[in-house]
């Protein structure tokens, strides 16, 4: 079903404190309040924002991860309900038993994922998506997700991705093929990688004729320095709004269903994408 009205979204950024869930939750609430004062109905926060993007903290203690029913998340639930907004926030989430068993002293074993927590406008919490493409050191600590996911808000199907997922064209393409008209991709990019950050997500928008909402971690977290750059791209890959590396900051956009339809008609890559390119032939022209 195609939505009949625009949807106002916000990509919000701030610095995250390594392993300090209560402090990060307080910052998240402030970002949600600022974004909803600007009219946002959906607020997207960066990758691992609630627990911190810092490999030194990931296996340190049970306090450095959350569960869906974690009482420390209640202030975000209250803010989502009070502000009548949907909040999408990154966190390290303990899933209970799973394929990887850890032996860190004082830390219970089980599966931990880089996930998106979704707080709906009633304050209910779910974790519908776990990052499928783990990057570099993440593979040592986390288990990868085994499925794609979308959420539906006011008739808008919003595909979910996390950072490195968005570097693979097929990830956003799968969401678009399933009906997504926007792709939400919370991320954490190290300072110095701005050129790649700004290319990937604009390309995913243009590839599929959909909006892309990119929320980037900023500031220092542990030993790492992140570059922010939160932005929203239209279905032709143009920036609708963006911020630089300031903290806190919020980018806004009104997603327009007519713009998605227009862009996909003008540039029907999704329609014309071949499911199979066949075999490859090699012609040797010199010896």
Given this model, what pLDDT does residue 60 score?
Answer: 75
The answer to whether residue 166 is domain-embedded is: yes
- Count structural domains, the chain: 1
Given this model, what pLDDT does residue 67 score?
Answer: 96
Ordered per-residue pLDDT tens for the chain, 287 residues = 688 899 999 999 999 999 999 999 999 999 999 999 999 999 999 999 999 999 999 877 788 999 999 999 999 999 999 999 999 999 999 987 555 544 444 444 569 999 999 999 999 999 999 999 999 999 999 999 999 999 999 999 999 999 999 999 999 999 999 999 999 999 999 999 999 999 999 999 999 999 999 999 999 999 999 999 999 999 999 999 999 999 999 999 999 999 999 999 999 998 999 999 999 999 999 87
The answer to whether residue 284 is domain-embedded is: no
The answer to whether residue 2 is domain-embedded is: no
Question: Which of 126, 125, 159, 165 lies closest to 145 in space, CA to CA?
Answer: 165
The answer to whether residue 130 is domain-embedded is: yes
Distance, CA of 22 to CA of 195 (rounded, Å): 33
- CB neighbourhood size of 181 (10 A): 27
Contact 85, 40 (CB under 8 A): yes
The answer to whether residue 286 is domain-embedded is: no
Distance, CA of 33 to CA of 29 (rounded, Å): 6
Given this model, what pLDDT does residue 100 score?
Answer: 54
CATH number at residue 89: 3.60.110.10
Q: State the pTM of this model.
A: 0.94
Question: Which of 248, 83, 275 lies closest to 177 in space, CA to CA?
Answer: 275
Give the structural domain span for 180.
7-272
| SS3 letters across the chain | CCCCCCEEEEEEECCCCCCCHHHHHHHHHHHHHHHHHCCCCEEECCCCCCCCCCHHHHCCCHHHCECCCCHHHHHHHHHHHHHCCEEEEEEEEEEECCCCCCCCCCCCCCEEEEEEEEECCCCCEEEEEECCCCCCCHHHHCCCCCCCCEEEECCEEEEECCHHHHHCHHHHHHHHHCCCCEEEEEECCECCCHHHHHHHHHHHHHHHCCEEEEEECEEEECCEEEECCCEEECCCCCEEEECCCCCCEEEEEEECHHHHHHHHHHCCHHHHCCCCCCCCCCCCCCC
Distance, CA of 11 to CA of 230 (rounded, Å): 6
Given this model, what pLDDT does residue 110 score?
Answer: 67
Task: For Cα atoms 119, 212, 231, give the angle at the middle one, nearest 5 degrees.
Answer: 90
Longest dimension (CA), the chain: 72
């Amino acid at each position: 079903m195609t939505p009949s009205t625009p949807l106002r979204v916000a990509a919000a950024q701030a610095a995250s404190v390594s392993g300090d869930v209560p402090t990060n939750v307080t910052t998240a609430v402030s970002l949600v309040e600022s974004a909803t004062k600007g009219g946002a109905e959906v607020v997207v926060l960066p990758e691992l924002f609630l627990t911190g993007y810092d490999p030194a903290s990931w296996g340190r203690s049970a306090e450095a991860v959350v569960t869906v029913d974690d009482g420390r998340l209640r202030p975000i639930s209250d803010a989502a309900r009070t502000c009548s907004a949907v909040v999408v926030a990154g966190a390290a989430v303990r899933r209970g038993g799973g394929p990887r068993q850890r032996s860190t002293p004082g830390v219970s074993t089980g599966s931990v994922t880089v996930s998106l927590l979704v707080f709906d406008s009633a304050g209910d919490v779910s974790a519908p998506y776990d990052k499928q493409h783990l990057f570099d050191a993440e593979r040592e600590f986390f288990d990868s997700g085994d499925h794609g996911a979308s959420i539906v808000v006011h008739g808008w199907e919003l595909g979910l991705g996390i950072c490195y997922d968005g570097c693979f064209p097929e990830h956003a393409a799968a969401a678009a093929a399933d009906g997504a008209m926007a792709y939400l991709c919370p991320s954490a990019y190290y300072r110095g990688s701005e050129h790649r950050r700004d290319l990937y997500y604009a390309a995913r928008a243009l590839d599929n004729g959909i909006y892309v909402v990119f929320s980037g971690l900023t500031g220092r977290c542990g030993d790492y320095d992140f570059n922010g750059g939160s932005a929203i791209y239209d279905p032709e890959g143009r920036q609708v709004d963006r911020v630089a590396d300031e903290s806190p900051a919020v980018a806004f956009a009104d997603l327009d269903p007519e713009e998605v339809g227009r862009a996909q008609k003008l540039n029907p890559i999704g329609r014309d994408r071949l499911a199979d390119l066949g075999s490859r032939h090699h012609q040797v022209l010199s010896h």
